[in-house]
Structure 1
Amino acid sequence: MQPGEFKQEIMRINNAVNQEMFGLGLRWQKVHVIDDKVLVLASNQRVKALATLFVKDRGATKLIDNALLDEYKSRIRSAVEKDLKIRVTAVLKDYDPDLELACMLIVFAEPVLDVIVSL
């Protein structure tokens, strides 16, 4: 697999997980490969119910966002390991509800380019 194909697969998986959990696709996303890590920046569409709650009660929304982030990270990890057959060491993710921007770092057990060439 070529690096560009690998990036496309990461984007496909990320968008699929987003659609599974929120019923919405991503507006855009960018993927950067850095040694044993993949950095994904994405523009999300905020779920209407969370956007409404965010205006009234930021604290409650933050708790819900954290629970959703934990579930998202678990699903991304499973999907990447299953679909790409690459062991994931960690998934770190944050989301800014004001900008509707997400940043995710996937850390792999070995350098990505070494692994994807053999796929």
Structure 2
Amino acid sequence: MLWSVGQFKQELIKDYNSINLRMFDTGVKRQKVDIVGDKVIIFAIHKRISSLKFLDENNRLITRMADMAIIDSFKLEIQKVLEEKYQMKVHSVLKDYDPVTEYSGTLIFLDKDAKHYLSGL
């Protein structure tokens, strides 16, 4: 199935939120998907896990390690969705999260320009 750009963005927003619900029991506050050539970019505002927010004040090193483990798990999940549901070949997923502002950015590198996977680009 060749997804339209609009359908893909809407579905990916749902998938991203679904992964967050499974991992954190809470969805994201806001998100936006952009497509530039062979890259899918997701900007999101998350709700910080309460226990990590509390621990941040006393031991940022521990929460940083937890954040990195969570981010690594999330990257595997989003890659699996892109490859299985959308039949896209993913080269790499980069993600970072700022616990102070609760902003995150995810950059997904595809094997070729997204127009090969999506109509309307």
TM-score range relative to shorter protein: over 0.9
Taking structure 1 as the reference length, what is the TM-score of the superposition?
0.95
Partner of 2:111: 109
Query: Percent identity over the alignment?
Result: 33
1:95 and 2:100 equivalent? Answer: no
| Structure 2 residues without counterparts, runs of 5 or longer | none
| Structure 1 residues without counterparts, runs of 5 or longer | none
Partner of 2:55: 53
How far apart, in 1, do the equivalents of 2:19 and 2:71 lie?
12
How far apart, in 2, do the equivalents of 1:48 and 1:79 lie?
27
Output aligned runs, 1:1-119, within 5 Å.
1-117=3-119
After the TM superposition, which segments of 4 or more aligned residues of structure 1 sit over 2 Å from their partners? none
Question: When you count helix as a share of all residues, which structure comes out higher?
Answer: 1
How far apart, in 1, do the equivalents of 2:102 and 2:89 lie?
29
Aligned AA (2:63): T
Q: Is the 8 A contact 1:13 1:80 kept in 2?
A: no
How far apart, in 1, do the equivalents of 2:82 and 2:11 lie?
9
How far apart, in 2, do the equivalents of 1:52 and 1:61 lie?
10
Aligned AA (2:24): F
Number of aligned residue pairs: give it: 117
